[in-house]
A and B are shown apart, each in its own frame.
Chain A
């Protein structure tokens, strides 16, 4: 009887290694590679704006504190989700998000349409002690955000690294990153005007934590939370078009 073919493979170490690599590579190649080439993967959103340096710093605090472990930012096109949270998420909305923060678990609610839903003061109170505003909440308190000064000296480097991975920040945005972060949280200061010029007039320019004198991590995080889902109106338009 002919020798069972697998007996031969088992005798060759390198051959076995190559067989594993070949066998295991196919799935990833077929599923991932096309996503980078097929244009239809990501919808166009011409009105899309980029995160301001302050919002990006806030997003990094969101990452640092592990908020994504309990909050998703990906609304599925299911009736109950759209009614509960808002228009379902589109791929284009996170095309400038390295990394994406879609999340995988909802210990707390989805946040994809959080921006503009509550006041800054609500967010600050909620982050200081969630149970002050939602008595049943199990979210941690984040009191230290209110006292930690925000690090802004390296924001230019952040923007420039983002540009290297495909986010179209301009030279001007990179050069003014630190000033724009200060300006966005201090509406009466002389650096506030530049933020609107570079990121659009609709950009929120406010003392997010209620104290324009000190730029804190709370300012940054609230600035970010207020812009989540607000960078483009594409999702709202798509849902409206479907309903007609």
Chain B
């Protein structure tokens, strides 16, 4: 790994790592006696490990100039492995917290193991750990191919990937210790947020450098989405996380926004994290891997233009539908509702474009579980965007808000769309990248597909039922004009659905573990092939379009 860096890149790496060590050390010292201290030690440890890693390979021979004839895929390979590790961690914690809602005493009698601290480990673990790493890994791969140029240097992608994982690690460990801003999906505190800004700006600059060096006159549609993802997430992250730390020695900060302004900023962030992290980024993935795997061109160029600009424009208005009937001014709620409904047009344009792309390849969908993952992802994308627009209507929202219906909706998108498109893309990508003929076991892909689909369906149906029952019970009146059910009645009614939900999650988690085994065995297969001298190590001139 280090052997592929040039000497000057190794030196830069050492300097960066030294800064990270110093940063960790100053956090550990200034934060002594505060929760910031242990976080500092984590940074310090990460920096020292990195230093050892670079030093151990420092005197390895420099890579030859022939490296420039090949795409640089090592960061993507590591990114895929990291994504799978986070997937298992995040989904395991998800199943655990789901079980806690059915059996609240199935836990340790300690702060770190309580529902409130574990829940963000689940959400951040799957969104940022699994999703983020998958996006970074695939974006490196896709941008090189679609721009027909190599990554401009070999250090920046490592900085982006590993720096991002340091952020994820700080976030997850912080939640367990009780560090949180309480802003949903933006829980990490100020020091981790600042670090993410540094990493993310580097990511953006890297992307732009690749675009600038492209040998292809036009920017391919997958890159539009990846770029929108990187750019808008930067804007959202910076604005929503503006905060005043109580001191440099404390992990605690207070948001720059209060009350209603905070609510609007938070859901402008929250909804667009869904839009640009969980939608735009993964649409980029879909626009590259689906046509490649199906062997069909994208159905309509114009549809992709309409849906791209529609999504970037309309989504940014929709956040206020999370605040229907709250103390947010009515006109903002109405705007949010209106744009949420209009959003259905570009969303279905994307989903339709994806499904129409499969025309002429449906026999492949039948036989190939990898492509079927992508097809089902597009279907769930269409379904959950329809559901989202529907739930944003004020009258519907009065029933669905605060209930499990929202949770079901999120998981229809997260499991059905985000995770499925990722698994499909990974199953396509892993053999390409490790230069094996196919995945280790196509049958395991098939098993994973049915586990994932069954898990998603069980989960979503359980939450639809519980959510709608909950919402109806809360608003049911007796003949005498009083409320028919106490709150606890509605909770008792949820019990069977909470068990079903945990079971659905368990199925999905099992599928992810199967995927890990399959990816691991494929990598082993590739190593054996290299040892046996077959393929693998032969320099491959970058072929156009691949």
Contacts and interface: CB of A to CB of B under 8 A. Distances in A.
B and A form one assembly: yes
A42 B325 contact: no
B117 A66 contact: yes
A166 interface: yes
B53 interface: no
B441 interface: no
B255 A32 contact: no
B45 interface: no
Question: Per DSSP, are chain B's interface residues mostly helix, strand or loop, or mixed?
Answer: helix
A140 B104 contact: yes
Given A41-B260, A83-B483, A158-B252, A66 B327 contact: no
A140 B260 contact: no
Contact of A68 (B182, B328, B498): B182
B219 A16 contact: yes
Interface in B185-208: 208
Interface stretch (A5-13, A113-121, A188-196, A203-211): A5-13
A52 interface: no
Contacts of B246: 154, 157-158, 160-161
A140 B100 contact: yes
Given A23-B313, A27-B339, A63-B180, A96 B483 contact: no
Interface in A161-189: 161-162, 164-167
B262 interface: yes
Given A13-B211, A99-B183, A138 B262 contact: no
Interface stretch (B11-19, B64-72, B486-494): B486-494
B402 A106 contact: yes
B312 A20 contact: yes
Contacts of B208: 13-14, 17
Given A24-B316, A154-B250, A35 B332 contact: yes
Contact of B402 (A28, A30, A95, A105): A105
Chain A contact-residue range equals: 35 or more
Interface of A: 6-7, 10-11, 13-14, 16-17, 20-21, 23-28, 30-32, 35-36, 38, 40-42, 60, 63-70, 72, 74, 76-78, 80-81, 83-84, 89-110, 130-131, 134, 136-144, 154, 157-158, 160-162, 164-167
A137 B102 CA distance: 10
A150 to B, nearest CB: 13
Contacts of B268: 27-28, 31-32
Contact of B227 (A17, A42, A66, A157): A17
B394 to A, nearest CB: 11
B259 A26 contact: no
